[in-house]
Every structure is written in C-alpha cells, then in structure tokens.
Chains A and B, each alone.
Chain A
C-alpha cells in the first residue's frame, strides 16, 4: 500500500484523545488528550511519575494505549504504525547509543537502518556531528563522552531521517546550565527547519523558554493546557509569600490574607503562606491587618512576574 495522500496543510502533528494506560492498579495515564499543531513546540510539564514518559511512549508507538486514540499527522498510531514510525524521531530519557562505538559509527548504523546508503550515512553523520559541535570527537568511543555530549549525540541520532515530529523526553535533565542553553538553541533551530517538537520537562522555566504551548500533567491527567503567558496569568501576575512568626497563628493569618486578597491562600510549610496577588497595592493592607491581629511577619518575598 503506497500512501501519497495529500493532506490538508493545517493538519495536526499530534492529535490524541482520552489516552489511558494502566499498569496493574496504577492508572499511569488517565485520559490525556493533546493536540499539537505542525511547526510548534509543545512542552509537557509534570513531576516525576506524572505519566509524561508513558504518554510519549504511546505517541511514539512503543506501547499500546489501553483506551483512546492517537493520530500523528493524520495517521493512526495503531493501524498505520509503520508510517508513523517514518515520521517521528524519539530521544528517550536514557542515552540509547552504544558506549563501545564511536560517535560516527553510531550515527552511521542508524543512518543505514533508516535506509541510507553507506556513503549517505557517513555524509549525514558527519554533517550532524559538525552541527552539534562533535566533529573533533567523531572517532572517539562514547565511553569517553561527557553527559552533555551523549545527549547531543542521542538527539543527533533521531535527526538522521529528518523526521517532521520529534519527541524529546527530558532532553536537559542532568545537563549543566551552559549545555542546557545550547540544547535549547538546537531545539529552536529544529522548529525553524519545520519540525514539530514535543518535549517533556520537569522545569517550568524550560517549558516557558521553549514551548508555544504547555500541557501540565499530574497523576496521569492534564491539569492545564495553555500558552506560557496564559498559564502565568491564571496563576496571577505575582504572588505573595509571607512567613509568620507564630506557626499557631498561621491559619488565622491565612484567613485574613484570603479575605483581603479575595484569593485562595496556600499554606506551604509550617508557617509560610502563599497567595496569588494581582494588585500589589494591597500588600500594605495585608501587613497592617496582620499586625493588628497580633501576627508578626518574619519574612516576606515578592517574586516579580515569574510564578
């Protein structure tokens, strides 16, 4: 079956509805729906064990969803698996390249697997190594590579076939800040070239830096799906952090703050209170009322716009 169907250009790169994956009693992914337009970066944000990797595995044809359906560029993941595999590149959490082989050998083997000739694989391998700043170490065995170099090579491997959709599972976890910035630049360049990127991360700032759209996942469910700015707005333009001296009076202080700011106050640790605050003018009101009520504030913090 040869497929040369011309599809609508505005087609979604990823369209997933109600994905469910259970491991025993654990519903690792519990009804995740995603839609990613072609040419954008989608950041999937969530803590450890939220179901990010499980979701990616289902999108990347590694595991079958227990319920729900996924379409990659309009192709069904379950029925047109082999087509989907020609359209995606997956860079997992663990560097899946061979320690014993050199960088170029690794790239060449994957190039051959994607169906390129020996010469083409070598040429593509060398091009990618140059692009990722690894040309000098091309013939060194990987066991001598640093963590950042391995990550970059791992990403390079997924790019051999120039897939229009790239999954990156925590691409910068464990990288130092400089390498992280380099990785971000690489990802931005990918999108400039016309790729669509889905990346998972545990860091809000990473998602904020890169993503056009952020999907927040927790306990297998999508809890928020918005642009970075939209997400920030929903949290409030700024937040009030106060620590009261007397932990016993924290609940009372929380009530007072809640009344003045008309917002839900979150009691973080023993006596730290956090509340969204749109209008910073109310800060004085809060402080004076607290003082009148006999609560002394020991520490206050007012992080600017970053929630």
Chain B
C-alpha cells in the first residue's frame, strides 16, 4: 500500500445517516473493545468476582448468626445486598472508563468518525452487562453453595 491512491470525495458513495444495522455493528465493535480492554486488565476481575464472594462469606459467617439467628435465615438478606453492592462497584468502573475515554480524546475521535453517536455509550454499556451477569452469577453461586 505504498502511496495509496485516495478515492476523491466526489467519486464516493456517501450517506448522510447511520443505518440501524451499522449502529448495532458499531456498538458491538465497541463492546468488544471494552471487553478486550477488560481482559488485558485482569485486576478488574477482582472487583466483580473476588470481592462479592469475599463479602458474602464475610457477612454470612461473621454477622449472619448475630443478625438473623442462623446462616440459612441470613442468606436471603445478604445475597441481594451483595448483588446490589457489586452492581454499584461496576457502575463506578463503567463511569470512570467513559471519563477516561473523554480525557484521552478517544471520544473526540469517535465523534469525528462516521459511526452512530450512541455506539460508544451503547458499546460500553453492553460490555458492562457482561460484567453484571458475571458478577451476579458469582454471587448466586456462592449463595447456592452456602445453602441459599
């Protein structure tokens, strides 16, 4: 591709709107980007897998008996609580990731590209959904093992 010949502007087939298919594809690509970034930073996994498990165990065995009398009675209270807590942690991570993109100029670049305006947000939210689900599964699994 040495000295690629650029197709002049007047010979291009151009559309002034983004189609639904493109929007979905763009969002998918950006979700893939977010997940790929996540996989390169395994320490994030600690936030949404290890931490909820730790909290569940901690609350159940430390306070479970004192608050609800015994562990099986306490689990229905603590599991939804930990679920909520891990969702909040995830929200914070998602927000800071978006902010990082704005600061670094990545968002400006996306804005200057012919992609759907919603795609950067939708992509990041889709990736978050994956995180929520993973976090949720971990919490429920822990609960199940404990007898929930």
Using Cβ atoms and an 8 Å threshold, which residues of chain A touch B33?
98, 101, 109
Q: Does B108 contact A (CB under 8 A)?
A: yes
Q: Does A82 contact B (CB under 8 A)?
A: yes
Q: Does B111 contact A (CB under 8 A)?
A: yes
Binding site for B on A (CB under 8 A): 1-9, 11, 13, 38, 57, 60-62, 72-75, 80-83, 85-88, 90, 92-98, 100-101, 105, 109-110, 112-115, 127-128, 131, 141, 157, 162-165, 189, 192-195
Using Cβ atoms and an 8 Å threshold, which residues of chain B touch A162?
4, 6-7
Would you give the shortest CB distance from B30 to chain A, in whole angstroms? Answer: 7
**B29 to A92, Cβ gap below 8 A?**
no
Q: Which residue of A lies closest to B115 (CB)?
A: A113
Would you give the shortest CB distance from A62 to chain B, in whole angstroms? Answer: 5
Using Cβ atoms and an 8 Å threshold, which residues of chain A touch B40?
100-101, 141
A-contact bits for B1-41, CB 8 A (1 contact / 0 none): 11111111111111111100010011001101100110011
Q: Which residue of B lies closest to A158 (CB)?
A: B109
Q: Which residue of B lies closest to A57 (CB)?
A: B108
**A164 to B112, Cβ gap below 8 A?**
no
Given A96-B106, A113-B29, CB of A88 within 8 Å of CB of B112: yes
Using Cβ atoms and an 8 Å threshold, which residues of chain B touch A105?
36
For the complex, what is the distance from the CA of A58 to the CA of B51, rounded to whole Å? 45
**A194 to B14, Cβ gap below 8 A?**
no
Given A92-B105, A113-B30, A131-B1, CB of A2 within 8 Å of CB of B114: no
Using Cβ atoms and an 8 Å threshold, which residues of chain B touch A86?
12, 14, 114
Q: Which residue of B lies closest to A128 (CB)?
A: B1
Given A96-B104, A113-B30, A127-B1, CB of A193 within 8 Å of CB of B6: yes
Contact of B5 among A72, A96, A193 (CB under 8 A): A193
Would you give the shortest CB distance from A9 to chain B, in whole angstroms? Answer: 7
**A83 to B106, Cβ gap below 8 A?**
no
Residues of B51-73 at the interface with A, using a CB-CB cut-off of 8 Å, are none
Binding site for A on B (CB under 8 A): 1-18, 22, 25-26, 29-30, 32-33, 36-37, 40-41, 104-106, 108-115, 119
Using Cβ atoms and an 8 Å threshold, which residues of chain A touch B26?
113
14 contacts across the A-B interface (CB closer than 8 A): A2-B14, A6-B11, A60-B112, A73-B10, A83-B14, A83-B16, A87-B9, A87-B14, A101-B33, A113-B110, A127-B1, A141-B40, A157-B109, A162-B4
Using Cβ atoms and an 8 Å threshold, which residues of chain A touch B36?
100-101, 105, 109
Contact of A5 among B10, B15, B109, B112 (CB under 8 A): B10
Q: Which residue of B lies closest to A8 (CB)?
A: B10
**B22 to A115, Cβ gap below 8 A?**
yes
Given A96-B108, A115-B22, A193-B3, CB of A109 within 8 Å of CB of B10: no
**B17 to A94, Cβ gap below 8 A?**
no
Would you give the shortest CB distance from A262 to chain B, in whole angstroms? Answer: 48
Q: Is the interface of A mostly helix, strand, loop or mixed?
A: loop
**B105 to A94, Cβ gap below 8 A?**
yes
Question: 15 extra interchain contacts, Cβ-Cβ under 8 A, other than A2-B14, A164-B6?
Answer: A3-B14, A4-B13, A5-B10, A8-B10, A75-B14, A87-B9, A94-B104, A95-B104, A101-B36, A101-B40, A113-B30, A113-B110, A115-B25, A128-B1, A194-B6
Contact of A90 among B1, B37, B112 (CB under 8 A): B112
**B114 to A114, Cβ gap below 8 A?**
yes
**B109 to A92, Cβ gap below 8 A?**
yes
**B109 to A109, Cβ gap below 8 A?**
no
Q: Which residue of B lies closest to A121 (CB)?
A: B29
